[in-house]
Structure 1
Amino acid sequence: MEPVDYIVLVLYFGTLLVIAVYANKKQKTAEDYYVGGRGVGTLPLAALWMSSWVGGAAIMGTAEKSFEIGISSLWYPLSMFSGFIFFALIFAGRIKRLGDRHRHITYPDLIEQRYDTRVRLVSTVTTILAFVGYTASQLLSAAHIITSITGISLGYSFLVATTVTVVYTSVGGFFAVEKTDRFQTLLVIVGISAVATPLTWSALGDASRLGTELPADFFQLGSWGWGAIVAMFISMVLTFFTSMDSYTRCFAAKSVRAARNGTLVAALIVLCISVSICFLGMSAKILIPEGTDGSSTLIRLIMHVFPAGVKGLMLVTILSAIMSTADTCILCASANLTRDVYQRFINPVAPQARVMRISICSSILVGVIGALVGWYSKSIINLLIMTFTINSAGLFLPTLGVFFWKRASSRAAFWSMSISLVTVLGWYLGKGAFPDSVLFAIDPVWPGLVASALLFFPLSLTAPGYREAEQNG
């Protein structure tokens, strides 16, 4: 690393903090802090979607998998692309209309409006667990990048990544996140597709080397393993329908059209960037010296191939993608603690000034807990897939019931969510305790979904009565 690369990094961190201070002056209410006053247009909304999904796993994880198994790694971003499309066409407009009608801020707001307080509580617990996991994975990625850039220990890198991310998120809230995400999405698009890809192509000299020097199975779609691919695809797509950031994006949109179109634009951007990242990971298999594994593939490619100045720009590009996802995760879990716990159960009549203070404190708490979880984690992509499963298996069917099944009952939603959550967590514990067990080799998403279905449908159909759901047009 040359001095100019360090200057780029310092300028990036400084820009984030300045934006946070500016944004803090615009926020007066919790609605401002968490959904930006419900006035976000199509392109800013696409940037917010990008910040939610194109982080450590999408960039670092896809590059690592591309380095290890080739084009089969594209199943991760393809499942993400599919989730965007399905959500935009099926849910985005409905969520926006219902959210505006009832002034929803969080996913549990919508769940309680359709079911009851018990169901809200279970969805809140599930969402907090998932978003702490998401936060941990992003801070873990950011710490590894800072270590690669500066050479300082991983512990100090964790401290830097956590401090900067937590400060600009907690102080600036939604307005800071929205402004930084525009900046960071532009960095990702330019850095990955317009800078990194051409430079790597040039370093290869001849792109045909990919076909002649890589193993044949690098060009097989199923080399990841079809069982793992299907389970990941299901978990990812279902997570779009149950992840709270999907709902806050729609609540924040200025119109139904913006909610739908912003999601579709994000899908196209994700697809373009992911193909570039796959190319980078496969190229690294040729360009990076032998004897290395897939960990930190993209970082090592940058350090090995790119010139001074560009190294700093590229590392900041990756860091910006990761930190933009981390800020979204922190803000979502903070909303759960503030809106769904404090305002709902502890102090429903709290003045806005106090709610804002609680919001900032909640953001700090989530960031610290996420950093601690990340410190004890090893695999970025495995941590992400685990949190996708926790967030999707038990919540998906009751969420569909909100919009499409009048007979869905509160009792059914409560027990299906609760037992599914316990099943998924228990399955992961079983996988850790009995790694050679045939039973626990089954991906936890399947027993989680089965447990949810076996409770949700029978309990709804046998309920003596049910509450009519308010339907969207």
Structure 2
Amino acid sequence: MNVSSLDISILVIYILACLSLGLYLSRKEGAEGYFVNNRKTKPLFLIFTALSTSVGAGTVLGVASASFQTGISFGVLFMIASGLGWTLMGYLAPRIKKFGDEQRAYTFGDYLFHQYSDRTRKIGRLVVLIAYFFATGIQFVAFAQLINVTTNLSFTPALLIVALVTVIYTVAAGVRGDFYTDALQFFVMFPVFIFLFIKGFSLVGIQELFILPDGFLSLYNYSGPIFFWAGVLFGFPLILTSVDAWQRIFAAVDERTAKIAFYFSGVLKVGVIGASIFIGLLAYHIVPQADSDGAMFALMAEILPSGLLGLGLASVLAIIMSTVDTGIMVGSATITKDFFLAKHPNVSEKEILKVGRISASLFGLVGLALAYFVQDIVTLAIVSVQVLLIFAPALLGGLVWKVKNEKSAYWSILLGFLVTLIILPINVNLAFIPGLLVAIIVYIVPIFRERRLARV
């Protein structure tokens, strides 16, 4: 990629600005501010951060890559599941916010403990850490690819630069800094997306855009009909199983704010996924020789002029940074609250903050190691999603039907997780189907048995 010194300068300035903001906001930070922004986040900030965090490399780069490679299938599935899921989350947000305020919660591990038991939280925290290692790895890989295509650095040194920037920034800033930079990143992303479309469609007309290979307009081209319909049926609770979504709700100023923010963010999320499909198809026509994972970067380099290309690359960087810092914060909050505070409940706020920052550093480094060994963005995204989905029965049962059956929740999460892990090496795209089916069956059978015995 031919990137001018002006474009690289814009990228470097953006990185330094985010680092500076993170360090500035870290001054006099307390534990509540570090993990949940003192539970005072207003509607616009909440919309910006919920959307920016959700729209990471797995969404924009992953959907664009899949569309470039196989057409609309993966993106349409993601749009339908996201629309249903964010609507569900908006409906449940007031209940989650109420619980968070009453229990001073940081993660949904706190909910598993309160609704079910300590051992349910213990297995839950293990699953969360594994899932978010993969989710963080996605962002590191995407960030390293961005540096690679702009500077011609090989993947390994690019990855090390990524780790240094993101870990330092996140450890310093916490969730409060995450929220402020998410707002900045929101406004960096959208103007560039708009220009990319204007320029792209001036080169490729609407009719020409849909002149594609056989199967590209099929809903089943990505991985067949089973994957598509199972993804729609089982994938919509995904946002409910995202620890970062719970953190955002806990951080809201009140229940109404949480509800409105998630409804609005859901509409915008569906729009971004749709835009990512078009970006992938535009890249297929304009830069057909590009590597699928780098299709969006190649498209930018081809059609954006110098200066605007720098802003375009900064927008991709914004997408990545807004998600990677959240992934690290989820890992930090899980380790701090569900491991450390579970054993040391009476430590000072200063000690909590110290453990949180150390945990963020360690979590970021482990995510870095994973990204080094698994460099496929789509695979990393699918694995992280599938591992989290097994929480859906226990969370829906507790929030919607007020179920408090401890054995159901514990064994549902444990066995669903194990089945998913066993199937992943065999079929990475379809492992979530048997895993989630086992989680559902194991969750509901003891409940029906207890109710039948109660009638007798």
- Normalised TM-score (structure 1): 0.90
Report the Cα distance in structure 1 between the residues aligned to 2:206 and 2:413, rounded to whole angstroms: 49
Matched, 1:423 2:419: yes
Residues 411 and 443, structure 2, Cα contact 8 Å, conserved in 1: yes
Q: Which stretches in structure 1 are left out of the alignment for 5+ residues? A: 432-439, 467-473
CA contact (8 A) 2:93 2:255 kept: yes
Residues 185, 241 of structure 1: alpha-carbon distance in 2 compared, 3 angstrom cutoff: same
- Post-superposition offset of 1:458: 2.6
Deviations, residues 49-90 of structure 1 (Å, cap 9, x unaligned) = 12321111111111112212333242223322332122112x
Post-superposition Cα deviations, 1:245-267, rounded to whole Å, max 9, x if no partner, equal 12111111111111011111112
- What SS is found at the alignment partner of 1:56? coil
- Deviations 1:173-217 (CA, angstroms, capped at 9, x unpaired): 01110000000111112211x22111112233x433224x43353
* Residue identity matched to 2:73: S
In 1: Cα distance, 2:228 partner to 2:358 partner: 39
Shift of 1:95: 0.5
1:369: which partner in 2?
Answer: 366
Is the contact made by 1:16 and 1:168 (CA closer than 8 Å) also made in structure 2?
yes
Give the CA deviation at 1:284: 1.5
**1:302-451 matches, cutoff 5 A:** 302-345=300-343, 347-393=344-390, 395-429=391-425, 431=426, 443-451=430-438
Computed over aligned residues only, the root mean square deviation of the Cα atoms, in angstroms, reads: 2.0
Contiguous gaps of at least 5 residues in structure 2: none
Q: Counterpart in 2 of 1:6?
A: 8
Aligned 1:24-423 pairs, distance under 5 A: 24-28=26-30, 30-75=31-76, 76-89=78-91, 91-192=92-193, 194-204=194-204, 206-211=205-210, 213-215=211-213, 217-224=215-222, 225-288=224-287, 290-345=288-343, 347-393=344-390, 395-423=391-419
Return the alpha-carbon distance in structure 2 between the equivalents of residues 449 and 73 of structure 1. 20
Amino acid at match of 1:112: F
- Deviation, 1:125, is 0.9
Q: Is the 8 A contact 1:235 1:385 kept in 2?
A: no
Report the Cα distance in structure 1 between the residues aligned to 2:384 and 2:274, rounded to whole angstroms: 24
CA drift of 1:415 comes to 1.4
Which SS does the other structure have where 1:208 is aligned?
A: helix
**Alignment correspondent of 1:434:** none
Q: CA deviation at 1:341?
A: 0.2
SS of 1:248's equivalent?
Answer: helix
| Deviation larger for 67-76 or 247-256 | 67-76
Q: Which amino acid aligns with 2:264?
A: V
The alignment partner of 2:247 has SS state of helix
Contact 2:332 2:363 (C-alpha < 8 Å) held by counterparts = yes
Q: 1:43 to 1:156 in 2, by over 3 A?
A: same
Q: Give 1:452's aligned residue.
A: 439
Q: Percent identity?
A: 25
The one-letter code sitting in structure 1 at the alignment partner of 2:447 is S
Equivalent position amino acid for 1:456 in 2: Y
Q: Secondary structure at the match of 1:219?
A: coil
Report if aligned partners of 1:398, 1:408 keep a CA contact under 8 Å in 2.
no
1:119 partner SS? helix
- Paired residue type of 1:221: L
State the one-letter code of the partner of 2:277. Answer: C
The 1:71–1:415 alpha-carbon spacing in structure 2 relative to 1, beyond 3 Å, is closer
Q: 1:2 offset after TM fit, Å?
A: 0.7
Measured after TM superposition, the shift of residue 11 of structure 1 is 0.6
Residues 235 and 165 of structure 1: is their aligned pair in 2 closer, same or farther, counting only changes over 3 Å? Answer: farther
| 1:354-410 Cα distance to aligned partner (Å, 9 max, x none) | 1111100100111100011011113212211111111112x1111122223345411
Structure 1 contact 165–326 (Cα < 8 Å) conserved: yes
Distance 2:389 2:209 in 1: 37
